[in-house]
Structure 1
Amino acid sequence: MEVIHNTLDQSKLLSIIIPIYNAEAHLEECLQSVQDQEYANFEVLMIDDGSTDSSRDICMRYQSSDERFILIKTEFPQSGPAKARNIGLDMSVADYVMFVDADDSLRPGAIAKLMEYMGGVDVIIFEANIANDFPPRTVQRKLKESVTMNRLDLSSSLKILFGSIDHGAPWGKIFSRNFIGKQRFPENVRAGEDYIFNMSVFASRNSINAIHCSAHFYNYRVDDVNHKKNVQYTAPVVEAFLKFIQIFKTTSPKSAKYVAYRMGVFILSIENLKAKVEITRPSETYVNQQIIREYRDEIFQVEESTRRKAQFYVFEHMPKLYSWIYRISAH
């Protein structure tokens, strides 16, 4: 991969889209981390999805003191993050788009460093710190690690997105508005809609100009609650994976295996949640079992963990035993 260098131009407007629902615990930390960025030419579209806590008040405070912060309310409460992000995309007039979750934060100087390289680039993918929580000093401390920018084509982008380290979330990227085009998040899906969005965007081109940034510019706070709630909305995501695997087999044959791998990991994660909360859907599990069997070779080409390979093997051959083992180990 080609290592590249560039200089900062603040003439390009960046839209930062933040879906918000009852996020008072960490929302101020999130918004402050954006407001404190050295790169000043941005707008923050705060999409409130009917919050019943103090989230709206926090947003109004930022809006009243900084014209770059714009509060927008969804028409119907709890429309979901996909709807909220789509509202932001439809309202944005910026050259570039970035998604941030309301309980996460940006490291100081993140946007300035990333925007240095956005000229003529479709997307920059960067790394995240992942933890259950972040002490304030971690959020406020400027990044000290070295920053390497590597040029990517479509094949290497799919490897970064869907390979052994998951970059399939909407955050952790700056998109060119032209690259997103008319693609939107599917609003009928409550878990995995980010995968569908990313696959749709990357499948819209036969070739792309992308960059992978090695720096951990984003703080992602792990929250298991929403995934548990949304376990029943997963079948459309698997169907989308299957569709895009076939597309990428044509446009990027060598990297379609990474999409198959991420589909396999997604299936296991859903089966794990079903086992943990004791939801049984035998017909869905049977379909997932057959999919894992069909794509086992591609999955194993990417998976490096012997333990994870064993999990795939047990689920493929004995799904009931797999669920029982996971349920016991989870408790």
Structure 2
Amino acid sequence: MHPHDAQVSVVVIGYDDAPHVTHAVRSALAQGGVVREVIAVDDCSTDGSPELLDALAAEDPRVRVVRRTDNSGGCGTPRNDGIDAATAPYLMFLDSDDVLPPGAVDALLMAAVAHGTPLAAGLCVRRELPSGREVPWQPELYERSAVVSHPSRRPRLAYDTLCVNKLYRTDFLREHGIRFPEGRFRYEDFVFSARVLAAGPSIALVPDTVYVWHVRRAAERLSISLDRAGIDNWKARMEATRQAYEILLGAGEKRLARAARTTFLDRGLRMYARELPLRDAGYRTEWWKLTRAYLSDFDAADFAQASVPGRLIAQVLLASEQPRDLHRLKELAARPARLTPPYASTADGTPVWSQDLPQVQLEHLLHRPMQHLPVAVDAELRPRARATRLRLRLHELYGRVENARPAGVDIEFVLREDSTRVGLARTAALEPDADAGGWTAELPVDLAALGSGTWDLRLTLRFDDGTSRDTTPHAVTGPGLLGRHVVPSVRHGVLLVQPYATHSGALALRVAPGPRGVTSVMGRRFRRLIHWK
């Protein structure tokens, strides 16, 4: 028997998730003998999930089913039930619609035991379904194995608010009374994670992928992290962040508390600002008012630790009582950030957000390295039968672009589902264009070379001073620029091409080659129209 066998309880929580819960539990059982038990807490499901769990328990005695008699309305209470039921020295959490990759529990347990830490953490990846595209979560924390003697030595730990990519010593949680908020409390992991860090554990970090977070944007019932259309979601996020901050501050962990606010500015604020143009006027007004009130408690040091985009968005909010410049804020909130015109300045030449908001100063733009500047590039893609043309326009930014002397731009169309696959790569010179008020490049695009899929456009701007800047281009709107085009193709007969603007305003492209691809896309569009009617 392996010395680490039967050392871990895996707590799986679920509610009305019959299509996925079996897969989740099996992924925990597949970790091998290291798992003593899989505690499946069913939050009073009515879709047949309890029967599926009973069947799994009949197959494998390691499965223990805990049935709640009333629905808690959140994720915290069933996880607390799992903590109470756990009998193993260590425990992990798993949501019913996610999975543990092979070897995840072993990797975490070996690190915790080897270093004697009550907590071990590893990399989580967000897997977009059905595409399968994976995006690592907070990868900077998990680049290499490390042991952190106290969380305050690495404040960035507060950025990782997830509870599921970690292994906890069970008696550590119980001795410190660390639990989740009960009931209908959204973003409960923000508060739980703050309570863990406030207890001051040593932490073993591993570079292994230990959790796969499934992102199902087309699901009938969206997860809390995706269901952001209502203002209550934003209220819950602010409340969870507020509690996390107060927990850490109350424990004397000022650097960690500040990091919690930095995370709010860098992640939450930017995410929701990108989506503001999608919301109605009532939502925007209330969101703006609530956010201004919340940010009014932040001090200068809180803002100083945040990224430039997060800090600027907060400053514009605090400077204006009413929603404004929503599309410009959306561009600034993009990753990478884009600061679009106008580029206003005061009489003494100090860059400012706008002439009527001179208190929001952008003087830092005069000193930041070029590779970090939020330069803006406009992009127009015009699908044509003979030759599709891509036109780019690089804007000046308070003299910084001209001083660096634009030379050229490297262009890549990258498959959305697999960011390692480049469908088309080109290089073009950037030429001064007095009429356009900046620098332009124009080049042909062979759409047939891309193939079927959704393609993101990535740019690397190169300058004669030896610097460069990676960015994405802003999608220019106008007649004939965005929307579906049917283009003849020698290779495929016909292409259905759709340039469009992403939620962050960047130009992207959908391509469906061949008559079958065109028919499939048009059929889906027709069915959507019938559905909405």
Q: Please state which band the TM-score falls in when normalised by the shorter chain.
A: 0.7 to 0.9
For the pair 1:54 / 2:60, whether they are aligned, the reply is: no
1:99 to 89, 93, 106: 93
Q: State TM-score, norm by structure 1.
A: 0.79
Number of the residue aligned with 2:250: 247
Letter in 1 for 2:186: A
The structure that has the greater radius of gyration is 2
| Partner deviation per Cα, 1:30-61 (whole Å, 9 max, x = no partner) | 12211111343421111111222232232122
CA distance in 2, matches of 1:173, 1:34: 14
CA distance in 2, matches of 1:173, 1:322: 40
Number of the residue aligned with 2:258: 257
Relative contact order, higher structure (CA 8 A, sep 6+): 1
CA distance in 1, matches of 2:279, 2:79: 29
How far apart are residue 102 of structure 1 and its match? Answer: 0.8
2:37 to 43, 46, 52: 43
Number of the residue aligned with 1:122: 118
Letter in 2 for 1:28: T
Number of the residue aligned with 1:212: 205
Stretches of structure 2 lacking an aligned partner (at least 5 in a row): 135-141, 331-500, 506-533
CA distance in 2, matches of 1:11, 1:159: 32
Number of the residue aligned with 1:311: 313
| Partner deviation per Cα, 1:168-212 (whole Å, 9 max, x = no partner) | 121000011122122211114431111111112221x3x421111
Please give the residue correspondences for 1:1-331 in structure 2 after superposition, counting only pairs within 5 Å.
9-11=3-5, 13-119=7-113, 120-133=116-129, 148-152=144-148, 153-162=150-159, 167-181=160-174, 182-203=177-198, 205=199, 207-223=200-216, 225-227=222-224, 228=227, 231=233, 233-234=236-237, 236-247=239-250, 250=252, 252-264=253-265, 265-266=267-268, 269=271, 276=278, 278=280, 280=283, 285-295=288-298, 297-304=300-307, 306-318=308-320, 320-321=323-324, 330=503
1:24 touches 1:54 (CA, 8 Å); kept in 2? Answer: yes
1:9 touches 1:115 (CA, 8 Å); kept in 2? Answer: no
**Higher helix residue share:** 1
Moved more, 181-190 or 211-220: 181-190
2:13 touches 2:96 (CA, 8 Å); kept in 1? Answer: yes
Number of the residue aligned with 2:384: none
Structure 2 counterpart SS, 1:25: helix
- Aligned CA RMSD, in angstroms, stands at 3.3
Q: State TM-score, norm by structure 2.
A: 0.51
CA distance in 1, matches of 2:284, 2:171: 41
Specify whether residues 77 and 214 from structure 1 end up closer, same or farther in structure 2 by C-alpha distance, changes over 3 A only: same
Letter in 1 for 2:37: E
Specify whether residues 208 and 148 from structure 1 end up closer, same or farther in structure 2 by C-alpha distance, changes over 3 A only: same
| Partner deviation per Cα, 1:67-86 (whole Å, 9 max, x = no partner) | 11111111203542111111
Letter in 2 for 1:55: S
CA distance in 1, matches of 2:11, 2:130: 21
How far apart are residue 114 of structure 1 and its match? Answer: 1.6
Structure 1 counterpart SS, 2:122: strand
Aligned residues: 307
CA distance in 2, matches of 1:303, 1:33: 38
How far apart are residue 284 of structure 1 and its match? Answer: 7.2
Letter in 2 for 1:208: P
Specify whether residues 133 and 17 from structure 1 end up closer, same or farther in structure 2 by C-alpha distance, changes over 3 A only: same
CA distance in 2, matches of 1:63, 1:275: 48
Letter in 2 for 1:196: V
Letter in 2 for 1:133: L
Structure 1 counterpart SS, 2:324: helix
